[in-house]
Amino acid sequence: MQTVNSLTLFLCCGVIAVVYLNKKMEKESVKDAAMHTLENQKESGRRAFWLLALYGLLAVRAIGFGDIPGGVNQDGAMGAVDAKALAMYGTDRFGTFMPAHFRAWGYGQMSALLSYLTVPFIKIWGLNSFAMRIPMLIASLMGAGSIYGIVKKVYNERTATAAFLLLAVNPWHFMQSRWALDCNLFPHMFVIALYFLIKGIEKKKNFYFSMVFFALCMYSYGVSFYMVPFFLSAASVLLLWQRKVSIWEMTVCVLIYFGIAWPIYGTMFVNFMKWDTITLPFVTMESFKENVRAADILFFSEHIGKQLLINIQALVNVVFLQKDDLPWNCVRGFGAMYQCAMPFIILGAVLVFRRAFGGKGDKNDNNKIPNTRTACQLLVFYWIFGLLTGIMINSVNVNRINIIFYIHIIFASVGISFVVVRWRTAFAIIFAVFGIQSILFFHQYFTSWAHEISDAFYEDFVSAMEYAGEYNSDFYCITPDTQYEGAYNVTEILTLFVFDIDARYFQGESDYFQYKEIAYRERFTYSNPTVIDRNTLYVFKSSDQNRFPDNEFHVMIFGDYGTAVPWACYYNERIPDWRRKS
C-alpha cells in the first residue's frame, strides 16, 4: 500500500510541475509572431529548466515516501494517534477536547499544529506512515516556495533560482520533509509568514496574512516563544520607525496575531501560574502536572554561565562546523547544508548586512523595487534572533535549531549569485561541486542510511507488531524493550499506532475492539513475562525465541523482534484484510 501511495505521489508531482509550468508559459507567452527568435529560444530553455527543477524538487521527495525512513518514530506515531482521535472525536488520545498543546508523554509536552494538519489525510488514507508524513512534505514545499518568493522580491530571479536549487538538494530540507516531527513545522510557518511580511511593505494587506502564520508558529514548536515575539517586536519598531506601517495597521496586526495565538499563550500562563485546566467550547488550555522542558532553557539551568558556553559550542558545531548529529537529522559526513556551502553563507551574510545597513548592494540586485533595504534588515533580524534562540536552548541539535537553516540558504544563494556574476566560469564549478555532493548524499540516504535509520525507527518491532495485528487474540503481551529496556511509553504509543486502537477504547470508555469485548488494560500488557500463557499472543525480543515451544506457538522472527501466535489463534483468529481495513 505504501508503495502504491508513493507511486501515486510521484505521478502527482509530475502533473503539478507540468500544470504549473504550462500556466506560467501561458501568462508569459510572447505576443509577437516571431516564434523562432533567439529570445524565444532562450525563454523556452528557461522554462524547460524550471520544469526539470520543479519536478526534481517534488519527485525526489516522493521516491520511497512512506517507506524511507523505515519503521515509525515514536513522536511521529504519537502525533498521528492524537490526529486520529481528533478526526474521530475532536479530542487527543486521552480525551482532552481540542487541546491547544498536547500532553504527549505527560512529562514532556508536544506542539499540536502538525496533528491538526494531519487530520484530513488520516480521514482519507487512515492511520499509517504515508498519511502521517504528507503534511510535513506539503509544508516543506510551501516553505521552499516562500524562500524563492522572498529572494526574488529582495534580489532577483537569478538569486532566487540559486536558492530554489539549493533547497532541492539541501540535506536538512530533504530529510525533515520525509518524516513527521512536530518541531520541524516551525521554520516553514516562519518563512511563509516572513514572505507575507516582506510583501506587506508594498501591499499592506499582506501584513495581516503574515500575522496568521506567525501565530501558527506558536503552535508549531515551543522554541517559537523564544524567537517569534522578539522578532516581531524588533520588526514592529523598524517598520514604525521607517513609516512602513501605521499605528492603526499595527494594531490590526497585533489583534490578528493574538486572536489566533492566545490559546497557546493561555496554556503557558495556566501552567506558569499552576492553575487548573481551562476548557472552553472550542479549545482546552490544559494544566500539566509535570514538565521537563523547562530544564532545556538556559535561564532555568543550575549553572547559567557554564551552560551558556556549552550552548555556544553546540550551536557552532551544528550550524557552522556542521558536525554529525542524530541519525534522523543528519546523514553522516554531509551536515545540514554541505560543507561547501559555508563560504557562500558567510559571503552572503556580509552582502545582506551591507545592503541592510549602509552598502549600496550589488549592481545586479533588484534595486528597482522599493524597500529592499528594509527587507534585508528583516532578514538580518531573522538571523540574529535565530542564533540567539540557539543559544537560549541547551545543547541544540539540528531539529532544535531548525529555524536557522532557511536564512542560511538565503545567504548562500546571495553569495553564489554574487560570485557567478563576477566570474562566469564559477557557475560550472559550483554546479559540479554541489551536484557531486548531492549525488553522494542521495545515494547514501537511499542505501546505507536507510538501513541505519530503520533500526532507530524500530522497523523490526513495527514489523513484528504488524504481523501480530493480523490475529485477533484475546490477549497480547508486548515487550517494553524498544527505545531502551522498559520503555513502556514508547512501546505503547507504537502499539496504538500499528493496531490503530480507538481512542475511547484506550481511555476505557469502551471495551469493544476488533470484534471482541475485552478492556484495553486487560487485553494489552507491556512486559517481559515470567510465565508463558498458551492463550496469549506475544511480541518479544528475538533472544527470547526459545521460550515459545513449537507445539504451542507459531513463531515468526523479524530481525531483533519476533511474534509468537498460539496455534488456536493462528488457525481460527486471523483477521481478513477487508475486516482489518474496515
Task: Give the per-residue pLDDT at 22.
Answer: 52
State the sign of the Cα–Cα–Cα–Cα dihedral 262, 217, 200, 26.
Answer: negative
Cis before 480 (ω within 30)? no
H-assigned helices in 244-371: 247-272, 304-315, 342-356
Any idea which residue has 541592510 for its cell? 356
Cα–Cα distances (Å) from 481 to 362, 466, 529, 554, 560, in that order, read: 59, 17, 12, 22, 11
pTM over 0.95: no
Listing DSSP states for 511-525 in one string gives -EETTEE--HHHHEE
Q: Which amino acid is at 112?
A: A
DSSP designation for 367: T
CA 237 – CA 230 distance, rounded (Å): 11
Under a CB-based contact definition with an 8 Å cutoff, are residues 418 and 344 in contact? no
DSSP designation for 183: G
Closest CA to 559 of 444, 466, 443: 466
Task: Give the per-residue pLDDT at 104.
Answer: 86
119: three-class secondary structure by DSSP: helix
Task: Give the per-residue pLDDT at 305.
Answer: 86
Under a CB-based contact definition with an 8 Å cutoff, are residues 336 and 396 in contact? no
Listing DSSP states for 467-492 in one string gives HHTTB--SEEEE---SSSTT-HHHHH
Question: What's phi and psi for 37, nearest 5 deg?
Answer: -70, 160
Under a CB-based contact definition with an 8 Å cutoff, are residues 66 and 6 in contact? yes
Q: How far is CA 267 from the centre of its chain?
A: 23
Q: Which amino acid is at 74?
A: Q
CA 233 – CA 495 distance, rounded (Å): 44
Task: Give the per-residue pLDDT at 405.
Answer: 96
Question: What's phi and psi for 305, nearest 5 deg?
Answer: -60, -45
Under a CB-based contact definition with an 8 Å cutoff, are residues 357 and 425 in contact? no
H-assigned helices in 28-128: 38-60, 74-89, 113-125
- How confident is the prediction along the chain (582 residues), in pLDDT tens digits per residue? 554 455 455 455 554 444 454 555 455 444 444 444 555 555 555 666 666 666 666 777 888 888 899 999 999 999 999 999 999 999 999 999 999 999 988 777 899 999 999 999 999 999 999 999 999 999 999 999 999 999 999 999 889 989 998 998 999 999 999 999 999 999 999 999 999 999 999 899 999 999 999 999 999 998 999 999 999 999 999 999 999 999 999 999 999 999 999 999 999 999 989 999 999 999 999 998 876 666 677 777 778 888 899 999 999 999 999 998 888 999 999 999 999 999 999 999 999 999 998 755 555 455 544 578 999 999 999 999 999 999 988 888 999 999 999 999 999 999 999 999 999 889 899 999 999 999 999 999 999 999 999 999 999 999 999 999 999 999 999 999 999 999 999 999 999 999 999 999 999 999 999 889 999 999 999 999 889 999 999 999 999 999 999 999 999 999 999 999 999 999 988 876 645 554
